[in-house]
Amino acid sequence: MTFLIHTYGCQMNVRDTEAVTALLVAAGHTPVALEAEADAIIVNSCSVRGKAEDKAIGKLRQLAAGKRKHPGRIVGAMGCMSQRLGPELFKLVPRLDFAAGTRSERHMPRLVAAAAAGAGRQLALGTVDDPEVPHLHQPGSMSAYVTVLLGCNRRCSYCIVPDVRGPEYSRPPSEILDEARALIAAGTSEITLLGQSVLNYGRTRDVWQGAPPSAGGYREPFPRLLEAVSALPGLRRLRFTSGHPSGCTEQLARAMRELPCVCAHLHLPVQSGSDRILGLMRRGYKAEDYVAAVARLRAAVPDCAITSDTIVGFPTETEADFEATRALMARVGFDNTFIFKYSPRPGTPAAEMADDVPAEVKEHRNRVLLEDQDRIGLALNEAWVGRVAEVLTEGPSLRNAARWAGRSSQNKIVIFAPRPGMAVNDLARVRVTRAKPQTLYGKLVEQGA
């Protein structure tokens, strides 16, 4: 059969889609790019905000309605929303063939086969603490995600993730290293280590038991993992996401400075700049702690880019709370911020509070922060003009095929005129000549290794 997976949500979902794709390929199925060519269409869904769920349900309904035109088409759901809604999903999308929750990826070939055999509605809701998830890859991609930490134990009051992705499970380092080695052997040069709160790696399970001491003297489990992965021959870049201030220790800062392929970027969501709101969110830090965490990283890696997520309109957020967020954003100077309007998620502690910030106030605060961020991001990017960025080339730019695009260590998109015969996956040195809030433009200096 041919199949297509639509992916909503975060990098974890992108990773799960890739693993399921590899599983279905191993079962003899063929991935296609167009819906019209697909016998089976699967929606990998997100649950993080109401809007994300509305989008996934809308898509599933549209696909199910398309069965009239495409008889025999199979429509399935997987991911966080399936996990949250379970059997309910069949009420919302009556013609859905199957739904699989998180950590149930290994059942997908069976679900597709059962649907094809006309077995009727299928539901696979694994327990969310099942560590047995497939970590398969589609070979040959230049940049790959490797999951190191499943689930999340943090329980921020607004967040559905612990419910849908279960408790933390840190994978054994040997497994992670084997996976990274195989990726590198198949042509990958950039690896991003994934975890909802990735710096918590090894904090709830002693993963380094019995291993020889770290060569660099790292005692904390995550910096040790960075050291081990960055030592793999052939790896050019190592990234990790997402961070939490409690993990921004001196050892992490030193690892980011000393380890050769670790990139100068951390996604470190702050969520709010108001201590009162941070308390209600149960984030476990105050604004000053966050600022100190960023200062530790920047003291070790002065060029380190910091990006963030911010929620506007959390219950009881006042104008003064919002101004505290603006002030913190200005003080830290984020390279980029993703701004979200608060959305109550059923079953979370924050959903017990009234969602009392009016929609138009959320909208207004959202707009103000976007404008602030554009200004701040532009100023930070303009500081790159005249400097040389090291760029891992990705190929012709989408907007202008005569130009090439790549990313700097700071994860900024850099556009430049390629040299003749330039290859994808080269390390190029580009002198920046112009900056926009999200993009740098420049001229090639010399070809890297």
Q: Which parts of this chain interact with ligand 5AD (CB under 6 A)?
A: 48-49, 158-159, 269, 271, 309, 311, 340, 342-343, 345
Q: Of 314, 326, 332, which Cα lies nearest the Cα of 266?
A: 332
CA 110 to CA 29: how far, in whole Å?
Answer: 12
Nearer to ligand SF4, 82 or 230 (CB): 82
Nearer to ligand SF4, 13 or 189 (CB): 13
- 384-399 per-residue burial string, b: 16 or more CB within 10 A, e: under 16: beeeebbbbbbeebee
* Per CB under 6 A, 12 contacts ligand SF4: yes
The H-assigned helical ranges of 266-358 are 275-281, 287-300, 319-332
CB of 240 to ligand SF4, least distance (A): 16
Strand order in the sheet with 336-341: 265-267, 305-312, 336-341
Q: Which of 1, 2, 6, 10 binds ligand SF4 (CB under 6 A)?
A: 10
* Per CB under 6 A, 271 contacts ligand SF4: no
Burial zone of 213 (CB within 10 Å; 0-12 exposed, 13-18 middle, 19+ buried): exposed
CA 32 to CA 30: how far, in whole Å?
Answer: 6
CA 334 to CA 251: how far, in whole Å?
Answer: 22
Report yes or no: 194 and 15 within 8 Å, Cβ to Cβ.
yes
CB of 11 to ligand SF4, least distance (A): 8
CA 82 to CA 76: how far, in whole Å?
Answer: 10
CA 33 to CA 435: how far, in whole Å?
Answer: 34
Q: Which residue is nearest to ligand 5AD (CB)?
A: 309
Of 4-12, 131-139, 262-270, 354-362, which segment contacts ligand SF4 by CB under 6 A?
A: 4-12
Instruction: Give, as one character, the DSSP assignment of residue 193.
Output: E
Rounded-to-5 percentages of helix, strand, coil across the chain: 35, 20, 40
Nearer to ligand 5AD, 24 or 280 (CB): 280
CB of 173 to ligand 5AD, least distance (A): 26
Binding residues for ligand SF4, total number by CB under 6 A: 13
> What, of ligand SF4, ligand 5AD, none, does residue 47 touch, CB below 5 to 8 Å by kind?
ligand SF4
Q: Which of 3, 9, 220, 328 binds ligand SF4 (CB under 6 A)?
A: 9
CB of 168 to ligand 5AD, least distance (A): 17
Report yes or no: 66 and 37 within 8 Å, Cβ to Cβ.
no
Q: Which of 161, 194, 235, 312 binds ligand SF4 (CB under 6 A)?
A: 161
Structure tokens given for 334: 């984020």
Q: Which residue is nearest to ligand SF4 (CB)?
A: 9
Of 6-14, 88-96, 216-224, 427-435, which segment contacts ligand SF4 by CB under 6 A?
A: 6-14
Question: Under rule CB under 6 A, which residues in 18-47 are in contact with ligand SF4?
Answer: 46-47
> What, of ligand SF4, ligand 5AD, none, does residue 123 touch, CB below 5 to 8 Å by kind?
none
* Per CB under 6 A, 150 contacts ligand SF4: no
Instruction: List interacting residues with ligand SF4 (CB under 6 A).
Output: 9-10, 12-13, 46-48, 79-80, 160-161, 164-165
